[in-house]
Amino acid sequence: MWPGPEEGADAFGDPHAWQRQVSAFGEQYQSLMQEAFNRLWPSDAGASVYADMQESLRIGAEAMVVNAPAVYTVQMRLAQDQLRVWQNALRELMGESVPAVIEPSPEDRRFRDDAWHSHPFYRYILQQYLLFVRAVNELLANLGGLTPQTRHQLEFYARQYVNALSPSNFVSTNPEVVRKTLETRGQNLVEGLKRLREDLANSAEGLNVAMSDRSAFRLGENLAITPGEVIFENELMQLIQYHPSTDKVFKTPLLIVPPWINKYYVLDLRPDNSLVKWLVAQGHTVFMISWRNPGPEQRHLTWADYMQLGPIAAMGAIEQACGEKSVNLLSYCIGGTLAATTVAYLTSSLRGRKIRSVTYMATLQDFSDPGEIGVFLSEPVLAGIERQLDRDGYLDGRVMAFSFNLLRENDLFWSFYISNYLKGEAPAAFDLLYWNTDGTNLPAGTHGWYLRHMYRENRLVEPGGIELDGVKINLRKISTPSYFVSARDDHIAKWRSSYLGARLPKGPVTFVLSGSGHIAGIVNPPAKRKYGYWTHDEIFDEPDAWLEAATFQEGSWWPHWQAWMTDNRYADPGKVVAARHPGEGELTSIEPAPGRYVRQTIPEVLGVASTSEGEAGS
């Protein structure tokens, strides 16, 4: 039930209790303001984003002057609808039942509480807010004379603005928060400020909201628990060999190249959703690269270093471990981009046969349409990032995480803002969100080069557009069989963009489109029977033409990939050997999986304190 005025008065009937809460709230608030003041000045990267936003808004304002009739039309409609909402509110006070002028989308979880639709006050402010959002969107849609890039930036910044102003984000205009405040006599606000201060202390710039109970997880205990051994390491990575779970294994080993923007164990979370565990059970000898969490001392590392010290060094170690000169590659996200350059490098240096097949999961090779992340990669913003990288020697992974969260701000920022800070609730224990906040830094020598040469200038698709260790990279020369899998709702590696990469190799290519997004579309175990996927044998010039011709299949794409591997003899059922155990070859175990590198946290690497519970034990 919605609390009425009398019930609210009873909740705060004890003036002394309320005074104590006000005092506690004030103390927390002052402490928070001090923390916020200490973070007042942004970095070069942050300042360049703010400047770029201001420039985009300036251009938008000039466009509004030029498009005055369109602006007038939007304003008139807004004023008329606002008047209707006001009139309806008066009629409701008189006891009439009046339909809403505008309703939120059924998928909008911010306004699912019944009070938004039944209580006159919240019903009124919700409709006024939705009218404002619609007016902003109509205004942007009708502004002429804007370049596609400027329009894209304006739409992004406007979305951030209107979502930040949602009445669900404020104490007095969120019915759930008001109820909670009455029930707890304001203790939720005190707890919320405490959590906000802790999260600010664990943020580099912006606000990294805690998404999961960090004390609930321990790597090697309830995450990253597939048995294995670290058998090789260098300054950039550790190589894990997993223990077999079958008596016989395919002769050709499987090497996984994960991203280094996050940690590898997204592919090995729990036993029931671990891709690693599933691959081992299919009879593969699985090796995993675990990247180091770099700090200022690794500022010199380049993309070529990641290639040489990563997959190429791993292939050499695999040959020592089990005597095989060739491998199958399975790669993910930026690890896939690295795998593509590695295959092209080995092809041009006449060592392409070392790789029997290569799989790219949610991978960009053609960056002509990088998606919304492109908002942060205009020339002025990129120049600011480069200045910061040059000064610090690395990009703090928490800044990258904050940027990615803004691509889905309502789901990955504001929902946690409300539950953590306004409701004062502790985040639940969720393994995927724990991983999402367990980030890594990015070395200056690699990250700045990657952003400019690939994201900004899209040189990777140009024959010889980039050169690594004296070898000009040409993806069109790759004859290694390739399997591309993308996710239809991916907001990081848009599937139509990743499809363009499937048109580049000259060797045989299979493209598969999974349902869901960047993580769930890839980490989709068969037992769940979720999302489904699309397949078609032919690669068309346009991705939409491929999708129109494709056939939808139920369940996970994992068995389809396994059939592709075995049917084409990349993992040959006719060539199996006795199960290989770590340490049986020339390389002995260094330590049990998951190893030291994956346990390195950003505060630990940078030598700063963390207030997150369980951080040191992770």
State the catalytic residues. 333
Question: Alpha-carbon distance 428 to 218, whole Å?
Answer: 15
Question: Alpha-carbon distance 224 to 26, whole Å?
Answer: 42
Question: In three state form, how does the secondary structure of 93-105 look?
Answer: HCCCCCCCCCCCC
Question: Alpha-carbon distance 488 to 532, whole Å?
Answer: 10
Q: Which amino acid is at 548?
A: E
**E-strand stretches of 462-507:** 467-468, 471-472, 482-487
Taking phi first (over 0 means left), then psi (-120 to 50 degrees means alpha), and beta for anything else, what does residue 207 get?
beta
Tokens of 307: 């290639």
CA quadruple 390, 392, 394, 398: dihedral sign: negative
Strands 355-361 and 533-536: unpaired
DSSP type of residue 243:
P
Question: Alpha-carbon distance 372 to 403, whole Å?
Answer: 10
Question: In three state form, how does the secondary structure of 175-191 look?
Answer: HHHHHHHHHHCCHHHHH
Tokens of 423: 């409701």
Residue whose tokens read 């940027």: 403
DSSP 3-state assignment of 542?
coil
Question: Alpha-carbon distance 173 to 545, whole Å?
Answer: 47
Question: Alpha-carbon distance 459 to 227, whole Å?
Answer: 40
DSSP 3-state assignment of 305?
helix
DSSP 3-state assignment of 400?
helix
Sheet architecture: strand order including 237-242: 551-553, 533-536, 509-514, 482-487, 355-361, 327-332, 254-257, 286-291, 237-242, 228-233, 591-592
Question: Alpha-carbon distance 149 to 57, whole Å?
Answer: 13
Tokens of 454: 């690939």
Query: What separation in angstroms does the CA of 206 have from each of 44, 76, 209, 399, 439?
Result: 13, 37, 10, 7, 15
Question: Alpha-carbon distance 507 to 43, whole Å?
Answer: 45
Tokens of 390: 């040059």
Burial label, 58 (beta-carbon count in 10 A; 0-12, 13-18, 19+): exposed
Question: Alpha-carbon distance 314 to 354, whole Å?
Answer: 12
Strands 591-592 and 228-233: antiparallel
DSSP run (H or E) holding 316: helix 313-322
| Nearest CA among 418, 375, 386, 345 for reference residue 164 | 418
Question: Alpha-carbon distance 289 to 268, whole Å?
Answer: 12
